[in-house]
Chain A
């Protein structure tokens, strides 16, 4: 079992049922996703792993409400997802901070006027502390490093207390050292906030390091192939026998067809 505090025995946070999506390419319909079904419980960390081109980013974009789908359903707490919303916070792979706003203004961007100016500032400062950016509120995104930008990207959605945090290869563009730091940060934030997380990655090690459960996707058309539970204590030792065993099982799954 994981070391996280026992969570409430509540139902699914996110449900994906029979999801299908095709694109028109040169007049032909290409199936991108086929019959994808899974559930994510509240407080769970789900990793979606697959080779490039398997449609994992498309899947995440549909859950986020950025893309329409052809078949099936996406439900958040039983409600059909039709468009983007703050209950599904997204951290993108690339830097998508607003370059004309400071770090603090980026983090406060989604906060509603209802909080009041002082209330918003307190929330923003608390969130900056939480992601380790205290003192950087007045910086512009152009003046901070890639790792710090992804911390801001995380902060600006977590401050909205999303029911689910969706991440599309959020650390892929970072160097190994920074990526490791971000993994630690994410693990500690997830534990503190009991945050439901769905992340997409092509890196089996990252998947096993972070996730409670890993869904492995196959390509052309994108579909779910395997599911792996990762019942290891955090922080996980990436060179422990148990870790390597799960990683090998996943790699075997990725390799075969």
Chain B
């Protein structure tokens, strides 16, 4: 039962989709059936490139998109994690950063798009900029919340057992903050995919977002739906991979 539970909701959604499309309640040019989308996906993923529009583009699009997500997310981690930990622990860092960070956070990511296009042009740099900007906030806030709620006795205990500041950070502060840090990282990765698509809507030649946008011009709703499903699947797999990778830390295994 517990094994099936995660699949219950996706199965229901699939059932309703099939009912609407195959039952003739929605015309197929608006809502193609699951079978049609499956065929589309088969061609998109496995057919030899050039045999049909979109055929065999998947690997290329995937790699392009993953590169953009990976680059933007890595940048967001590199900035958000240390700054968040600092602002969670040090009052003057919090005072220094909070107004600015929360002000910038209030601006919707899409508002940065025109500026990013002017600054970085169409393509990799703009997408990475948007992804890292969007992913920064949950990562920063997670790290700050985690660092702030660390039991001060843990830090005292570490210092009392002879740890210097540097080792305290890595052996006490980060592990103790880990549950919030992981939540921030997962939210950040999730939002990275959202902004990936935004960045790829701007006319780049490859990527999952670009495939969706092209398909709209061509009236290929099957491609759009397939793209959405692929992003959902890939996003979930990336989340699983990251959480799995983080399990190498005891604090993630044991406090999760």
Q: A100-B178, A100-B250 are in contact. Are A84 and B255 (CB under 8 A)?
A: no
Chain B, residue nearest A90 (CB): B160
Q: Which of B149-182 contact A (CB under 8 A)?
A: 151, 153-154, 156-163, 171-172, 175-176, 178
Residues of chain B with a CB closer than 8 A to A83's CB = 159
- Closest chain A CB from B246 CB (angstroms): 13
Q: Which of A85, A98, A100, A140 contacts B160 (CB 8 A)?
A: A85
CA distance in complex: A140, B256 (Å): 13
Whether B91 is near chain A, meaning CB under 8 Å from some CB there, is no
Q: A96-B151, A96-B153 are in contact. Are A64 and B160 (CB under 8 A)?
A: yes
CA distance in complex: A84, B163 (Å): 9
> Is there contact, CB below 8 Å, between A157 and B160?
yes
Whether A160 is near chain B, meaning CB under 8 Å from some CB there, is yes
A-B contact count (CB 8 A): 60
Whether A53 is near chain B, meaning CB under 8 Å from some CB there, is no
- Closest chain A CB from B4 CB (angstroms): 30
Most buried by B among A86, A98, A157: A98
Residues of chain A with a CB closer than 8 A to B151's CB = 96
> Is there contact, CB below 8 Å, between A157 and B153?
no
- Closest chain B CB from A159 CB (angstroms): 9
Chain A, residue nearest B163 (CB): A110
Q: Which of A65, A66, A86, A94 contacts B161 (CB 8 A)?
A: A86
> Is there contact, CB below 8 Å, between A100 and B162?
no
Considering the complex of A and B, which 9 residue pairs feature the smallest CB-CB distances, nearest first?
A110-B161, A96-B153, A100-B251, A86-B162, A84-B159, A84-B160, A96-B157, A90-B160, A100-B175
11 CB < 8 A contacts A-B: A64-B160, A84-B160, A86-B161, A90-B156, A90-B157, A92-B153, A96-B153, A98-B172, A100-B176, A140-B254, A157-B160
